[in-house]
Structure 1
Amino acid sequence: MSKKPLHRLRSLALLVIFVLLFSVVYGIQAQDNILRVGMVAPQVLDPALGSNDPEILLNRSIYDYLIEVLPDKSIVPNLASAWTVSDDGLTYSFTLQPDVTFHDGSAFSSADVVYTFNRLKQMESPALNLLGEFEISAPDEATVVFTLPQVNADFLYGVADRFALIVKDGSQPPDFNGTGPFVLSEYRECERAILTRNDAYWKADQPALDGIEFVFINDPITQVDALRSGQVDFIFKISPEQVSVLETEAGITVIQKATNQHPVVRLRTDEGPGQDERVRQAFKLATNRDELNELVLEGRGVIGHNNPIGPSYGVFYNESTEEPAHDPAAACALLAEAGYPDGLNMTLQTINVLGYDVLATVLQQQWTEGCINVEIQVNEEGFYYSDDNPDNWLQAELGITGWGDRPIPQGYLTQAYVTGGVYNETHWSDAELDELVAQAGTTTDQDARTAIYHRIADIFAARGPIIIPWFAPIFGAARDSVQNLDMNPFPGLTDLRAVSLGG
């Protein structure tokens, strides 16, 4: 038994307690060049399935994409150094980067790419909505060939989709054995993930950071407090209210990115009141989108036309789409005609980020005048979107969902609005819409594609089950010590390889 004096043991114990408390509160703050990111705890860690910003940002720091979409929507090489497309648009050949290794030291080759994309099929990954049908082969260790049965105008965006991170041949993710810039050294569920620099990374002079600590903070206000106090360096998806707080804070820079990000206020169409098109139109008539933009976004948004193809898509955006004016009395009349003479009572589900809880409150007030009475249920974002939640966002009869930026309109249409789409939260099935979305996916002529998207906008206006009050910029914030940070319009896709800390 130790004979150390009791006071020394007490001092040692106090020191240990202090260190532990310091570590819990400040993580690895004292270490240089380690970025601390405050974000909601990930729920799904398999890169083929993880869909929200925290899940993607964690995984893309550990794994690599074959090719990447930049914030300006252009596509650039990554693990693939180059590619060619056949004249008929049915064959895509990719040449791979040499001398790339996984974190376990094994060599990266075409077999890993073949395995990854075949696994996306096996897992029924949401990536398939953009990839469509394909076969993949590897004529040699440095070449991968995709063969398509028909033209897919957006196939490269499918290859670069957020779910298409390259995993090792034969692996069973989540095993966190990627080729990416950082190596997972510790994962504490619901608390934090600690990553260290991959010194064998294939891209010269990257990463610039020595490590990343993802600190899991589910409450958005607490995230802001952590940034202000210096406990974290970077947060994303902050609400307009929080922006106003941070804009005046010394040592912090607010990041604003123009995006197609939008809230979807939607009804299920396969059950409940939303089955009736008159009810859908009543909700639209009862909604004052201009007032929502002013009260919730402080006028920062672009008014939406109740379809997901926003102005960031240029000519594909149909600015002439006709929408009914705000008319609560007409909403009441439609509801009475649909069998609700005393008004409609429902529960409105929403999430606690991006000010969507405030949006729900303003909608509640507006809708009352249109004979729609709702109770609001605010959910934690990660849990609301989790497959482990039997009452998640895909089940709600009436809900508000946050849809992040997509580089192309098909990213929304194929996943959320066609019959059987993996994220078809409205459970909508419209034969004309399905046919038009399919046509858009195989049409390479821009004028023809524009006409298709404009017709799709008209369908949403006439009978769609969604309200899109605005298209909004996405906001993040970072301490001034964070350098070379270019936040992606879809924040989870933000590339942290060039980021460093200084000053």
Structure 2
Amino acid sequence: MLNKLIAVSVALLLLGPFPAHAAGGDVVDIVAPFEITGLDPAKSGDIFQRMGIVETLVGADKDGNPLPALAKAWTVSEDGRTWRFALQPDVKFHDGSRLTADAVAKALEIARGKPGLLSKAPIEAIAADGPDAVVVALAKPFVPLLAFLAESRAQILAPAAYEGLNVKAIIGSGPFKLTTLEAPQSLSVERYGDYWGARPEIQKARYLSVGRAETRALMAESGDADYVFNLDPASRTRLAKNDAVNLLSVSIPRSVLLKVNAGHEFLKDVRAREALSLAIDREGLAVAILRYPAAATQLFPPSLAIWHDRNLAPLSYDVDQAKAKLAELGWTPGADGILERDGKRFALTLTTYPDRPELPLIAAVLQDMLKEAGIDLTINSTNSSEIPAKHQDGSLELALMARNFALVPDPIGTMLTDYGPQGGDWGAMNWSNPEFERALDDLTRTADPAAGEALRRKAVEAVQADLPVIPIAWYQQTVAVSPKLEGATIDPFERSFGLETMRWPK
């Protein structure tokens, strides 16, 4: 414990002290593991959105339903190809310039030309329709457009924020204005006096990126942070016994997944992927590592009700059946118990990352579980960027990752990115299923609830049958909050830290 305290003390000295609380001018100190990697919304737009600096055309409620944001209302043509968005009146950017249809159209056109879900939408053109409305023309009907426009990378910045297609400054329209930015670790904001919406009570806030989960937890205990995001299981258990902090928890649409290279010679037969799944004791793992019952029996958690199929046969645990399936494929135990076939050992490398502290722990447990089935697993815990890099160069074998299905309020955006014909960095690899692809494509064009439900069910069944990824666990998000801070909440879609509703006691 002494070493931990020394480590956090050194870290805080290097980072500089948080501003001290002062009556009437308290600063809310928010700590999370996410680094600020650049000004472009394609890189760190989620942080700017969570801190209330920037806004999108469309928002979302706690159930993922679209809400007015910078657009006060919208209409869609009968053929589904033309959407018209009426803008909120009297909106000012933080540089004092007014929100105009031209500014919105320019920001969205720049956004869709960069990495992000908006680039996946079948948009033909985005243009101003007078000073107070924007029209989005589509090549074909695309029902998820509202969800795509709610994604953080589709944020609207002032015209002065851009230099050509590049972002040179973060000039948003949110309730808080950026005052300092020290990438990759910190930024500060203050309440924007000319905000068009409800006036927040908090005057100032600071964000600090702290990668180590233990350090974040110690900052919560010591009072050096007021809102600490993403606690590891051990810290969560310890802090639950500490009256110096309050813990908030909520189920979120995020799953721990085992990404599988379905083109690998050992894994291209679906029976091999089924064997991997059968060798995993999800319930035991969830209780032991995550310390809450969250065994993932399918891809989507119950918190995503419209995508979670209650009637789907759950993924189960049966080591003997796993061994039998591998035996069908010609694998036999070697002298050390590891399976062999044609002179090759069943040995695989699993890539994961410590940004989410539970992942290396889960990887170690999976290593033991798969060894019982005769599979030799080597763990490579490295930077999270290695997973997309290895996906792209074809060298990835297995990856353990946490996937957020609420990058947009409707997970179809993530599904299109992750499980399309070419796969995705954080989804399928060397896998395709024509029936799945048809279901997903049809889903983007239907507004009928019953038809949509049937198509979602078909898509989920295909992933469950083919296992291009193997679900391990579902997530709960836990935040440590100072007892002095009132009105703190957790956004299940992780779009906001909730500064807008926080307040200090009067």
Q: Which residue of 1 aligns with 2:191?
A: 197
Spell out, residue by residue over 1:139-164, the C-alpha distance to the aligned partner (whole angstroms, 9 max, x if none): 21111112223322222111112221
Q: 1:194/1:315 Cα in 2 relative to 1: closer, same or farther (>3 Å)?
A: closer
RMSD between aligned residues: 2.7
Q: 1:105 aligns with which of 83, 93, 96?
A: 96
Q: 1:351/1:393 Cα in 2 relative to 1: closer, same or farther (>3 Å)?
A: farther
Question: Aligned with 2:154: secondary structure?
Answer: coil
Question: Following TM superposition, by how much is the alpha carbon of 1:354 offset from its aligned partner in structure 2, in angstroms?
Answer: 5.4
Q: Aligned letter for 2:416?
A: T
Q: Which residue of 2 aligns with 1:9?
A: none
CA distance in structure 2 between the aligned counterparts of 1:90 and 1:333, rounded to whole angstroms: 52
Whether 1:73 aligns to 2:76 is no
Query: Which of 368-377 and 186-195 deviates more?
Result: 186-195
Q: Which residue of 2 aligns with 1:419?
A: 421
Q: Within 5 Å, which residues of 2 pair with 1:33-112?
A: 33-50=26-43, 56-60=46-50, 61-112=52-103
TM-score, with length taken from structure 1: 0.86
Q: Which residue of 1 aligns with 2:106?
A: 115
Whether 1:289 aligns to 2:291 is no
- The count of corresponding residues between Structure 1 and Structure 2 is 472
CA distance in structure 2 between the aligned counterparts of 1:473 and 1:132, rounded to whole angstroms: 34
Question: Following TM superposition, by how much is the alpha carbon of 1:421 offset from its aligned partner in structure 2, in angstroms?
Answer: 5.1
Question: Following TM superposition, by how much is the alpha carbon of 1:137 offset from its aligned partner in structure 2, in angstroms?
Answer: 1.6
Whether 1:156 aligns to 2:158 is no
Whether 1:185 aligns to 2:185 is no
Question: Aligned with 1:212: secondary structure?
Answer: strand
Question: Following TM superposition, by how much is the alpha carbon of 1:114 offset from its aligned partner in structure 2, in angstroms?
Answer: 0.6
Q: 1:239 aligns with which of 232, 242, 260?
A: 232
CA distance in structure 2 between the aligned counterparts of 1:488 and 1:405, rounded to whole angstroms: 14
Q: 1:59/1:317 Cα in 2 relative to 1: closer, same or farther (>3 Å)?
A: closer
Q: Which residue of 2 aligns with 1:5?
A: none
Q: 1:305 aligns with which of 285, 297, 308?
A: 297
CA distance in structure 1 between the aligned counterparts of 2:115 and 2:311, rounded to whole angstroms: 37
CA distance in structure 2 between the aligned counterparts of 1:393 and 1:253, rounded to whole angstroms: 42
Q: Is the 8 A contact 2:158 2:172 kept in 1?
A: yes
Q: Aligned letter for 1:117?
A: L
CA distance in structure 2 between the aligned counterparts of 1:299 and 1:224, rounded to whole angstroms: 18
Question: Following TM superposition, by how much is the alpha carbon of 1:437 offset from its aligned partner in structure 2, in angstroms?
Answer: 0.9
CA distance in structure 2 between the aligned counterparts of 1:485 and 1:385, rounded to whole angstroms: 32
CA distance in structure 1 between the aligned counterparts of 2:193 and 2:153, rounded to whole angstroms: 25
Question: Aligned with 1:227: secondary structure?
Answer: helix
Question: Aligned with 1:114: secondary structure?
Answer: helix
Q: Which residue of 1 aligns with 2:216?
A: 223
Q: Percent identity?
A: 22
Q: Aligned letter for 1:179?
A: S
CA distance in structure 1 between the aligned counterparts of 2:177 and 2:265, rounded to whole angstroms: 48
Question: Following TM superposition, by how much is the alpha carbon of 1:276 offset from its aligned partner in structure 2, in angstroms?
Answer: 3.2
Whether 1:378 aligns to 2:381 is yes
Q: Point out where structure 1 has 5 or more consecutive residues left out of the alignment.
A: 1-20
Q: Within 5 Å, which residues of 2 pair with 1:162-173?
A: 162-169=152-159, 171=162, 172-173=166-167
Q: Is the 8 A contact 2:36 2:183 kept in 1?
A: no
Q: Which residue of 2 aligns with 1:7?
A: none
Q: Which residue of 2 aligns with 1:357?
A: 360
Q: 1:145 aligns with which of 135, 138, 158?
A: 135
CA distance in structure 2 between the aligned counterparts of 1:73 and 1:163, rounded to whole angstroms: 17
Q: 2:305 aligns with which of 300, 314, 333?
A: 314
Q: Is the 8 A contact 1:433 1:459 kept in 2?
A: yes
Q: Which residue of 1 aligns with 2:7?
A: none
Q: Is the 8 A contact 1:233 1:482 kept in 2?
A: yes
Q: 1:124/1:216 Cα in 2 relative to 1: closer, same or farther (>3 Å)?
A: closer
Q: Is the 8 A contact 1:418 1:424 kept in 2?
A: no
Question: Following TM superposition, by how much is the alpha carbon of 1:46 offset from its aligned partner in structure 2, in angstroms?
Answer: 4.3
Question: Following TM superposition, by how much is the alpha carbon of 1:272 offset from its aligned partner in structure 2, in angstroms?
Answer: 5.3
Q: 1:386/1:461 Cα in 2 relative to 1: closer, same or farther (>3 Å)?
A: closer
Q: Aligned letter for 1:313?
A: L
Q: Which residue of 2 aligns with 1:481?
A: 484
Q: Is the 8 A contact 2:202 2:503 kept in 1?
A: yes
Question: Following TM superposition, by how much is the alpha carbon of 1:112 offset from its aligned partner in structure 2, in angstroms?
Answer: 1.5
Spell out, residue by residue over 1:41-87, the C-alpha distance to the aligned partner (whole angstroms, 9 max, x if none): 42533454137xxx513344321111211223232222122222334
Q: Aligned letter for 1:477?
A: A
Q: 1:59/1:277 Cα in 2 relative to 1: closer, same or farther (>3 Å)?
A: same
Q: Which residue of 2 aligns with 1:409?
A: 411
TM-score, with length taken from structure 2: 0.85
Q: 1:176 aligns with which of 151, 170, 190?
A: 170
CA distance in structure 2 between the aligned counterparts of 1:134 and 1:481, rounded to whole angstroms: 50
Q: Is the 8 A contact 1:47 1:56 kept in 2?
A: no
Q: Which residue of 2 aligns with 1:3?
A: none
Whether 1:366 aligns to 2:369 is yes
Q: Point out where structure 2 has 5 or more consecutive residues left out of the alignment.
A: 1-11, 333-337, 340-345
Spell out, residue by residue over 1:265-324, the C-alpha distance to the aligned partner (whole angstroms, 9 max, x if none): 1112244533332321221121122222222233432x32342x3323335422232346
Question: Aligned with 1:457: secondary structure?
Answer: helix
CA distance in structure 1 between the aligned counterparts of 2:321 and 2:349, rounded to whole angstroms: 22
CA distance in structure 1 between the aligned counterparts of 2:423 and 2:174, rounded to whole angstroms: 30
CA distance in structure 1 between the aligned counterparts of 2:284 and 2:456, rounded to whole angstroms: 27
Q: 1:90/1:495 Cα in 2 relative to 1: closer, same or farther (>3 Å)?
A: farther
Q: Which residue of 2 aligns with 1:347?
A: 349
Q: Is the 8 A contact 1:39 1:216 kept in 2?
A: yes
Question: Following TM superposition, by how much is the alpha carbon of 1:337 offset from its aligned partner in structure 2, in angstroms?
Answer: 4.4
Q: 1:59/1:162 Cα in 2 relative to 1: closer, same or farther (>3 Å)?
A: closer
Spell out, residue by residue over 1:365-408, the C-alpha distance to the aligned partner (whole angstroms, 9 max, x if none): 211111112122333xxx41489x85589964211111224232
Q: Aligned letter for 2:467?
A: G
Question: Aligned with 2:378: secondary structure?
Answer: strand
Q: Is the 8 A contact 1:33 1:502 kept in 2?
A: no
Q: Which residue of 2 aligns with 1:327?
A: 318
Spell out, residue by residue over 1:417-452, the C-alpha distance to the aligned partner (whole angstroms, 9 max, x if none): 112355454323222221111111212222222222
Question: Aligned with 1:293: secondary structure?
Answer: helix
Question: Aligned with 2:276: secondary structure?
Answer: helix
Q: Which residue of 2 aligns with 1:443?
A: 446
Q: Is the 8 A contact 2:122 2:139 kept in 1?
A: no
Q: Is the 8 A contact 1:304 1:471 kept in 2?
A: yes
Q: Aligned letter for 1:398?
A: L
CA distance in structure 1 between the aligned counterparts of 2:236 and 2:292, rounded to whole angstroms: 13
CA distance in structure 1 between the aligned counterparts of 2:436 and 2:421, rounded to whole angstroms: 9
Question: Following TM superposition, by how much is the alpha carbon of 1:23 offset from its aligned partner in structure 2, in angstroms?
Answer: 9.3
Q: Which residue of 1 aligns with 2:397?
A: 397
CA distance in structure 1 between the aligned counterparts of 2:104 and 2:484, rounded to whole angstroms: 37
CA distance in structure 2 between the aligned counterparts of 1:37 and 1:105, rounded to whole angstroms: 27
